[in-house]
A and B are shown apart, each in its own frame.
Chain A
Amino acid sequence: MSSPNQPADGPRKVQTPDPDRSAAPITAVPVRYPERWVAAGFILLLAAMFVHMLFTNDAFDWPFMFENMFSEPVVRGVWVTLSATLLSMAIGVVLGIVLAVMRLSGNPVLVSVSWLYTWFFRGVPRLVLAVLFGNLAILYSTIELGVPFDTYLMAAFGLEGDLRFFEIDARTLLSGYTAGLLALSLSEGAYMAEIIRAGLQSVDRGQTEAAQALGMSRAKVLWRITLPQAMRVVIPPTGNETIAMLKDTALLAYVPVTIELFYQLQAIGTRSYQIFPMLVAACLWYLAITSVLMVGQYFVERRFNPGQNSVRNRVVGGAH
């Protein structure tokens, strides 16, 4: 049998490096890009003008801003904003998982309920939702826990009274903060449902089959195999959502939630007729918290990509 490596005629060729042949590094004149230098100079000029304006325009009033930026109600507002962000994201993620699993369940009722939910909460602007939930007390004066349709049921059995075990004044429960948080969480659930659904669908079908073949039940497959792998796809957009949510907590000011960061900063601005410095302070605060969240996202992504920092990935990733 003839080997494909061996030519039909002539001897077999073996390549070995020849020490006598020179391998001098290439030295060549690089291509110049003068237009890039012109553009860079122009942009630097604009930047210098901007910085000059920051320091000379009296509307900024930096000392006033720094003085008030760290005042006690503002710092409390930062904590409210942070807690509202994390809480509504946590509820949103849980809701999203439930909705995504419902959507992929195959049961027509669950599928359409999930679809309807997403349709409603993605369709209504968050600002409108926040104000709407702030006024929900108009719809229900008290919130009660009990048997559904209890009055009809009791009447059907010829009895009087109701079957309610627990009630609370809606204005207590749906105070500004809770109402706003509810609006943000429910809205986030709709977006997270789509993100998690995409993540679940991105996992290769063979993974489910392999897990099933090992005798894992459907719930086990979801929790142990599919969801953890979906995380890789889910986490980057969830980071975006968290940052968007942080900024959207400013909408709570319109519920209104008076202890919230943006409300507090605006209040100081309006009170002292120093509106602009306080708006700048708001920008700086939101930028600072967003930056911290981005660092958090980096670590979470690393946590859910085990093996991704492997030799092969570094080589492949570095080679382009």
Chain B
Amino acid sequence: MAERDKRCKIRITNLRKNFGELEVLKGISTEVTEGEVVVIIGPSGSGKSTFLRCINRLETFEGGQIVVDGVDIADHRTDINQLRERVGMVFQHFNLFANMNVLRNLTLAPVDLKKTTVSEAQDRALQMLRKVGLEDKILSYPAQLSGGQKQRVAIARALCMNPDIMLFDEPTSALDPEMVGEVLQVMKQLAADGMTMMIVTHEIGFAREVADRVLFMDDGRIVEEGTPEEIFTRPKEPRTIDFLNKVL
């Protein structure tokens, strides 16, 4: 792998998680290098969202290790808030702060965490809104935006913290079909800019186009991984073939 000499951003070793009796992650290991775009696909209930949410510790886990930028995230000495500042996350249901306008949504965390001054944060907010094509919505409230606009604002909000890793948890699953394109467009641009990204999605076409690597998960395990070409055109595992037959 030519990627090997690039810097490893996320190393996941034998990750295990239970919800009570139910084992949802049964030993996941993989590595994500700097600038890599990894797309995770799989049937619902396969644990892909849970897996993603473990990476910024929105979910705790029982076994294994996740190392982000050389920092063990489960170590009690790790300041999880500091780590989260560098790992942006975009959610299926946008989760824009309903009590604030777009500008406040974008500047809240940078200003509150004293990363920047108010005016610097506002400059950056405007810059990020331009990037997602929504600078005219700067004073709107989330309730006044369409789903696609909300998700683009959510992406801009995450980018305002200047993260070097972005996690996307089914970012287009709650959108009307005609709004999916505008969000994927923003994500494509982000990938082209060299952002390290992990994306859980059902958008196979998008995965094929943007992913450096695709992970197919089922029943808490990575069943198969490889380039989009390998996974979508020449899948080896029967479970992968079966899944792709159903969704393609």
Do A and B form a real pair? Answer: no
A residues within 8 Å of B by Cβ? Answer: none
B residues within 8 Å of A by Cβ? Answer: none
